[in-house]
């Protein structure tokens, strides 16, 4: 067991997977010699050689397209898109190819690939380095979508993703790379070395995709979140002293509906939180499912807290980000409704 940052946990997952299975290959822009702009692949080329971990041309559709071909051959590519914002050139390959190869060939060919990408704001990256495009993936049948919130989950889920027989989009919230950022940007971030979920086994383990985790038990209201917003929701519960139950989805597709229904049926109130823009965001899907499955338990309308429906601004990052104050207001509102 070691204390790891999320970067180290992600790297350890790929290291373990590559060590166990020679068919696992890792590639993307700057991931080879340099080890990635966020250093998630540092040391892998030196350890496994440059035919198993290598740099690619700046061409996302080429990265995903070649990964699909390699998967058809029998490899298990785990590729990096440098920022989630850069995935659009690969979107055709993801939605119309990777997601449908098993289906359209009736299992004659399959596509076991993992596409990792740093997601969300956190580095004053403005509109092209801060996006959260997960809903563009959850809308695509045939993809799986995973968003970890801590180093322990990141490693276990990434190993599960690499072992998964189908394509998995693995979104890594870059605000969480170094610590459990709770949205209080005016305070220093606690490093993962001081957090129990920074305890990560060095060896192999996996966490099943499709299972949520309750991060805080509570009875007043259910907060459904994933990634960075899990920590923001926890902070909002503390700040408002509202006894919220915080569910960390971990995987958006498949979705752990049972965990959601169980909690909302108990609390009767629900707030969904994500950093991605509001309209047609994944929160809309959760809200719809909650009213379909928990309508007679609900004591208040389901509320959503999300990024504004604007491009991610540069200088006004903290006015854009749905921090603990906005989540706290939603908790108060839903309790008073």
Partner 1 sequence: MVKQGHLSLHVPEPAVRPGGQPDFSNVKIARAGAVPRPNVDAAAEDIRDLAYSIIRVLNRDGEAVGPWAGLLSDDDLRTGLRHMMTLRAFDARMLMAQRQGKTSFYMQHLGEEAVSCAFRKALNKGDMNFPTYRQAGLLIADDYPMVEMMNQIYSNESDPLRGRQLPIMYSSKEHGFFTISGNLATQYVQAVGWAMASAIKNDSRIAAAWIGDGSTAESDFHSALVFASTYRAPVILNVVNNQWAISTFQGIARGGSGTFAARGLGFGIPALRVDGNDYLAVHAVACWAAERARRNLGPTLIEYVTYRVGAHSTSDDPSAYRPKTESEAWPLGDPVLRLKKHLILRGLWSEERHVQAEAEIADEVIAAQRKAEEHGTMHAGGRPSVRDIFEGVYAEMPPHLRRQRQKAGY
Shortest Å, Cβ 141 to partner 1: 5
Q: Binding to partner 1 (CB under 8 A): which residues in 71-100?
A: 72-75, 89, 92-93, 96-97
Q: How far is the CB of 164 from partner 1 (least distance, A)?
A: 8
Give the integer Cα–Cα distance in Å for 63 and 250. Answer: 25
Interacting positions 173-232 with partner 1 (CB under 8 A): 210
What separation, in Å, do the N-terminal and C-terminal C-alpha atoms of the chain show? 46
Does residue 147 bind partner 1 (CB under 8 A)?
no
Residue 255 within binding range of partner 1, rule CB under 8 A: yes
- Please tell me the total number of residues recorded for the chain in this structure: 337
**Cβ 168 to partner 1, closest distance in Å?**
11
Q: Which is nearer to partner 1, 174 or 250 (CB)?
A: 250
The angle that helices 282-294 and 257-267 make with each other, rounded to 10 degrees, is 60
Nearer of residues 92 and 203 to partner 1, judged by Cβ: 92
d(CA 80, CA 85): 12
Q: Which of residues 3-42 bind partner 1 (CB under 8 A)?
A: 25
Q: Which of 5, 56, 178, 267 binds partner 1 (CB under 8 A)?
A: 56
Q: Which of 62, 201, 311, 313 binds partner 1 (CB under 8 A)?
A: 62
69, 191, 208, 301: which one binds partner 1 (CB under 8 A): 69
Residue 129 catalytic?
A: yes
φ/ψ of residue 289, rounded to 5: -65, -40
Chosen residue from 14, 26, 40, 67 binding partner 1 by CB under 8 A: 67
Other CB atoms within 10 A of residue 6 CB: 30
Residue 123 beta carbon to partner 1: minimum distance, rounded to whole angstroms: 28
Cα separation, 266 vs 277, whole angstroms: 28
Contact flag: residue 59 with partner 1 (CB under 8 A)? yes
Q: At 222, phi and psi to the nearest 5? A: -100, 125
276 φ, ψ to 5°?
Answer: -65, 160
Determine the 3-state secondary structure of 27 from DSSP. strand
* Integer Cα distance of 94 and 116 in angstroms: 12
Nearest residue (CB) to partner 1, 6 versus 99: 99
250 near partner 1 (CB under 8 A): no
Number of residues binding to partner 1, judged by CB under 8 A: 43
CA triple 75-111-212, angle to 5 deg = 110
Give the C-alpha distances (Å, rounded to integers) separating 278 from 135, 255, 261. Answer: 10, 19, 22
**Which residues contact partner 1 (rule: CB under 8 A)?**
25, 51-52, 56-57, 59, 61-62, 65-70, 72-75, 89, 92-93, 96-97, 101-110, 141-142, 144, 165-166, 210, 253-255, 257
Which residue numbers are catalytic? 129
């Amino acid at each position: 067991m070691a204390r790891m940052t999320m970067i180290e946990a992600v790297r350890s997952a790929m290291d373990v997977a590559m060590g166990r299975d020679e068919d696992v290959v890792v590639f993307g822009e700057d991931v080879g010699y340099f080890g990635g702009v966020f250093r998630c692949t540092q040391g892998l080329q030196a350890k496994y050689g440059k035919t198993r971990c290598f740099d690619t041309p700046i061409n996302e559709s080429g990265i995903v397209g070649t990964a699909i071909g390699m998967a058809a051959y029998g490899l298990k590519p785990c590729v990096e898109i440098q920022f989630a914002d850069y995935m659009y050139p690969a979107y055709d390959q993801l939605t119309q190819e990777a997601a449908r190869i098993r289906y359209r060939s009736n299992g004659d060919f399959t596509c076991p690939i993992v596409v990792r990408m740093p997601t969300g704001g956190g580095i004053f990256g403005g509109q092209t380095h801060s996006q959260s495009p997960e809903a563009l993936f959850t809308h695509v049948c045939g993809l799986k979508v995973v968003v970890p919130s801590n180093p322990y989950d990141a490693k276990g889920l990434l190993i599960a993703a690499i072992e998964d027989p189908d394509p998995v989009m693995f979104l890594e919230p870059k605000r969480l790379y170094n610590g459990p950022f709770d949205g209080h940007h005016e305070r220093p971030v606690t490093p993962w070395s001081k957090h129990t979920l920074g305890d990560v086994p060095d060896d192999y383990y996996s966490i099943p995709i499709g299972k949520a985790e309750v991060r805080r038990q509570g009875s007043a209201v259910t907060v459904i979140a994933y990634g960075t917003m899990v920590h923001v929701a926890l902070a909002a519960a503390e700040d408002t002293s509202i006894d919220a139950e915080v569910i960390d989805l971990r995987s958006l597709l498949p979705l752990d509906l049972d965990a959601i229904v169980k909690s909302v049926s108990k609390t009767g109130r629900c707030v969904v939180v994500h950093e991605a823009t509001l309209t047609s965001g994944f929160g809309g899907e959760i809200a719809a499912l909650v009213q379909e499955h928990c309508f007679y338990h609900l004591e208040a309308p389901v509320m959503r807290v999300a990024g504004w429906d604007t491009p991610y601004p540069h200088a006004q990052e903290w006015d854009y980000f749905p921090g603990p104050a906005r989540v706290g207001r939603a908790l108060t509102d839903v309790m008073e409704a």
